[in-house]
Amino acid sequence: MTTTQQVGGGTSATPAGPAFTPVTGRLRATPIDPVDEIAVISETEVVVRKTVRDDDPYLEGHYPEFTVYPGAFIIESVFDAVLRLVRAHRGERTFVEPAEISSVRFTTALRPGDTLQVRCVCQASDDANDANTVRVVAHCTNGEAKAALVKMAFRVLPAEEPTGSGAA
């Protein structure tokens, strides 16, 4: 099964996924859209794309003479891909949280105009005590060039109950 969805396109006042609460007294960066397109390939595989735009505010000042896409945002794209995959199969109220980053290797800088493609292959944990953990290998590319290899684990959290149900 392949499902493709266009997302955002530039910056947004509201990040994709869960709602975030501002931290009082701290300046916060403009939220990014971690992905522009999503393709859920199967129950274990998802591909997302993000075009690096030179007018996005998060790039300003990130190596001003040689602007590059921050590595933390590649990891954010992996997170968003896994979240979308899990929600496609377990429901929109299901959430994931990073449990472990076991390995990250950045191999090519992404610059404005480049398109990051992240292909995540996800596997349930083999450990019976860790049944709600998904292990992920994310191959990140820019065209034919390898941009990063990310190995992470995420905890799958149960679907939230709807709020405002009238229960006291």
Residues catalogued as catalytic: 62
| Exposure of 95 in the CB half-sphere (CA atoms within 13 A) | 11
What does the chain come to in residues? 168
Give me the residues paired with residue 134 across strands: 124, 154
